[in-house]
Amino acid sequence: MSNYIWVPIVVGVLAVAFAGYLASYVLRKDTGTPAMQKVADAIFKGAMAFLNRQYRTIALLSIVAAVVVAGVLYLLSNGSEAAKFDLAWRTAIAFLIGALCSGVAGYIGMYVAVKSNSRTASAATRSLGEALMVSLRGGAVSGFLVVALSLLGVSLIFLLYSIGNTIDKVPSLIVGFGFGASFVALFAQLGGGIYTKAADVGADLVGKVEAGIPEDDPRNPAVVADLVGDNVGDCAGRGADLFESTAAENIGAMILGVALYLATKNPGWILFPLVVRAFGLIASAIGLLYIRPSVVIEPDKAAGRDPGEIAMKQLNIGYYITCALSVIGVFVVSYLMLGGESLRSNSLPAWTWFGLAGTVGILLSIAFVYITQYYTAGTWRPVREIASATLTGPATTIITGIAVGFECTALPVLAIAAALGLSFFFGSQVTIPVSASINPGVINVGGIFGTAVATMGMLMSCAYILAMDTFGPITDNAGGITEMSGEAESVRDITDALDGVGNTTKALTKGYGIGSAALAAFLLFSAYLDVLYSYKKTPDVYRVDLANILVFIAALIGLTLIFFFSSLAIRAVGEAAKRMIEEVRRQFRENPKIMAERVEDRVDPDYARCVDISTRGALRAMILPGVVAVLTPVLVGVILGPQAEAGLLMVGTMGGIVLALVLNNGGGAWDNAKKYIEAGYLRVNADGEMVARNDTSGVVLGKKSEPHKASVVGDTVGDPFKDTAGPSLHVLIKLLSTITLVLAPLFIALHP
């Protein structure tokens, strides 16, 4: 065992300690006025009650799944009794550890995020700079914990399973860790996404459109459930999503490294993904610590400039610092671990080509940031186009939003294709002496590993990206707390500026998540074919032939699964939202004092009942799409065989990537078109045509206008797209890969 295994373990422990430092910084801050604390306490209780119930359900499902996987592998895989038993118990234990780590990461990160919201609201009474620091560092606790626990989990289980096994056997034994993480992430993302959007749709349609009251108004019975939903969907759900991303992709890259280790006897090929991600954690910490509140301009001193855009630039600079340090890190780690006299390469040293491949992955993450901003930020054409469409009503708003969603697939797919092609080319410049017993030479192993290095490069900034993502719901909650506790308009200006930044960062994270999933798709697909070859020893496994009727059928099922799964997720939101809308209307109807004219005559609505409706609806509705997602690839592999399973994996992944782009960016564009109008940027001339937002001769059409109502309808349609179905597809794509990797022995045994 190489000493390099200790690098990710030490860095992982230090990253957990760094998250502890950030948590202490946030928790030492003032919690605000008694009114702020009252609202924050209701959000905290609702969020923790939901998570407790959700994770109890997921824990039971995980135990059942682990037992089933162990039983299937023991009874039906090939080999001696001892070998089958060893594979079965190790896979089951790895599955449970992966599931536990994923749950813990999401739970702790969300706890600190919920505790950060009132502290951010309190900081907003003093300055935008302080509120920015509190919310960003609160989000960073989740970001660093998720990535550190993923890194530590994979590293430690790799170290433990190395006892009594040769290093080349271990990656296949720890695949269960990635499967467990994917399994939990799917249900966490589904449940959280259904919860948050059921509450959001109910609050928006009845509160904003029907009752005409502002967002986060305390008279809205669904407002606390909506604020709770921001946390369980965007904090816990996204944390579980990126935890399983980093774990599954890490293990897939390690499996690809096995063939190269056997050829060169250099364990660096297997351990490289762990070490390079450790460098990424260091780079992310430095990028985060760069952010300074003194650079941010307060809203009352902005002199017409958007303080939110200035704050966003600070976050972007921190991200670019992270990326620049990551480029240095990927070259250093390549030099230290991927050199060797047995390698031949064209013109440049072998490690340089892999450093370039890693740089391609880092550049892809930056490209996705720009592309996602273009389609979801109000400063660019797509969002302004949707805002203009609101002038003619909800129908044109929805039509334009769908058109933008379909359009936004082109640039990301071209960027992914370019990144895959370039990283494969760079890796293929290295000639690795692999024997036919390890790999038959059907594919270029250097090129495939180049794509794996690109994926690891993209994941190096994961902690910083996740910090920006969790920053979103913290600032959203802070705005809600500020509104509900009756703070001054100047405080709301600060939280609104941060909320606008948070909307953009949440959209960026979804783009980053699908970009990394797309890069990893090829990595994990290649790893699956490697596993098939390790059992069958025939080069035919590397040829997935769509002219084969069984492969074609499986591919068609894989593509259909993506759309059917999305339908179930969106329908679940619709059903839960319907119950929420009925409840809010009932409360307004039966208790008119909620909407009394004089403040002193008003009574509080029943927030707890709305929280309970969202909780029950989400937990009930997450089961069916989750079970369909898990059972479909299993049944295809069992009935049609391992080659057909490869067809499902390949085509299903492609469909999932494209549909997720439509849902994420389309929904984000609708949301920010609404925000564009609420910020007072929609101006029209005397002919009713939209003019530039800084054209003072134009008339402002803001909140409560007809275009605003149309934008709320569009945002409501986009909500389950971008926060339920879209993010859940990220997880589904990788779940398909981890299931096939874990159950490959079963498929081969049934179809020798």
> Which value, in Å, is the radius of gyration of the alpha carbons in the chain?
25
Asked whether the beta carbons of 378 and 676 are under 8 A apart, the reply is yes
Q: Sign of the C-alpha dihedral, residues 621, 612, 240, 70?
A: negative
Asked whether the beta carbons of 511 and 664 are under 8 A apart, the reply is yes
List the structure tokens of 401: 């939003």
Terminal CA-to-CA distance of the chain, rounded, Å? 34
Please state, in angstroms and rounded to a whole number, the distance separating the CA atoms of residues 292 and 317.
11
- Where residue 53 falls (left for φ over 0; alpha for ψ -120 to 50; beta otherwise) is alpha
Closest CA to 709 of 662, 677, 684: 677
Q: Within a 10 A sphere around the Cβ of 326, how many other Cβ atoms? A: 30
Closest CA to 140 of 495, 470, 458: 470
Give the pLDDT confidence score for residue 646 in this predicted structure. Answer: 93
Residue 691: φ, ψ to 5°: -120, 175
- Where residue 212 falls (left for φ over 0; alpha for ψ -120 to 50; beta otherwise) is left
Please state, in angstroms and rounded to a whole number, the distance separating the CA atoms of residues 111 and 19.
13
| CA 356 from centroid of its chain's CA atoms | 26
The predicted model scores a pTM of 0.88
The torsion of the CA quartet 309, 314, 319, 323, rounded to 10 degrees, works out to 120
Asked whether the beta carbons of 146 and 239 are under 8 A apart, the reply is yes
Closest CA to 40 of 109, 108, 117: 117
Asked whether the beta carbons of 270 and 257 are under 8 A apart, the reply is yes
| CA 410 from centroid of its chain's CA atoms | 21
List the structure tokens of 146: 């998720």
Q: Within a 10 A sphere around the Cβ of 45, how many other Cβ atoms? A: 15
Beta bridge partners of 269: none
Asked whether the beta carbons of 570 and 666 are under 8 A apart, the reply is no
Q: State which residues of the chain have pLDDT below 50.
A: none
Please state, in angstroms and rounded to a whole number, the distance separating the CA atoms of residues 576 and 572.
6
Residue 77: φ, ψ to 5°: -85, 165
Give the pLDDT confidence score for residue 555 in this predicted structure. Answer: 96
The torsion of the CA quartet 637, 643, 646, 647, rounded to 10 degrees, works out to -100
Give the pLDDT confidence score for residue 441 in this predicted structure. Answer: 67
pLDDT tens for 326-369 read: 999 999 999 999 876 567 677 788 889 999 999 999 999 999 88
Closest CA to 27 of 101, 137, 105: 137
Distances (CA, A) of 697 to 2, 378, 684, 692: 69, 20, 9, 10
Please state, in angstroms and rounded to a whole number, the distance separating the CA atoms of residues 127 and 491.
9
Closest CA to 314 of 119, 144, 464: 464
CA angle 603, 604, 610 (to 5 degrees): 145
Please state, in angstroms and rounded to a whole number, the distance separating the CA atoms of residues 705 and 725.
30
Kind and range of the H or E run holding 699: strand 699-700
Type of residue at 610 = C
Residues across the chain: 752
Please state, in angstroms and rounded to a whole number, the distance separating the CA atoms of residues 134 and 124.
10
Q: Sign of the C-alpha dihedral, residues 699, 700, 705, 706?
A: positive
Please state, in angstroms and rounded to a whole number, the distance separating the CA atoms of residues 502 and 332.
34
Residue 460: φ, ψ to 5°: -60, -30
Give the pLDDT confidence score for residue 382 in this predicted structure. Answer: 92
List the structure tokens of 526: 């290649």
List the structure tokens of 2: 């190489």
Beta bridge partners of 690: 684
Type of residue at 185 = A
Residue entry with tokens 């190790």: 90
Give the pLDDT confidence score for residue 340 in this predicted structure. Answer: 65
Asked whether the beta carbons of 350 and 260 are under 8 A apart, the reply is no
Distances (CA, A) of 111 to 52, 200, 516: 12, 21, 26
DSSP 3-state of 270? helix
Residue entry with tokens 């039906």: 76
DSSP 3-state of 435? coil
Please state, in angstroms and rounded to a whole number, the distance separating the CA atoms of residues 494 and 521.
41
Asked whether the beta carbons of 176 and 90 are under 8 A apart, the reply is yes
Asked whether the beta carbons of 291 and 318 are under 8 A apart, the reply is yes
Beta bridge partners of 700: 683
What is the β-pairing status of strands 699-700 and 690-691? unpaired
Please state, in angstroms and rounded to a whole number, the distance separating the CA atoms of residues 146 and 141.
8
Give the pLDDT confidence score for residue 363 in this predicted structure. Answer: 95
List the structure tokens of 398: 């929805």
DSSP 3-state of 690? strand
Please state, in angstroms and rounded to a whole number, the distance separating the CA atoms of residues 42 and 605.
13
Please state, in angstroms and rounded to a whole number, the distance separating the CA atoms of residues 227 and 607.
11
Please state, in angstroms and rounded to a whole number, the distance separating the CA atoms of residues 257 and 261.
6
Please state, in angstroms and rounded to a whole number, the distance separating the CA atoms of residues 216 and 228.
12
Beta bridge partners of 691: 683
Instruction: DSSP letter for 364, please.
Output: H
Please state, in angstroms and rounded to a whole number, the distance separating the CA atoms of residues 635 and 621.
22
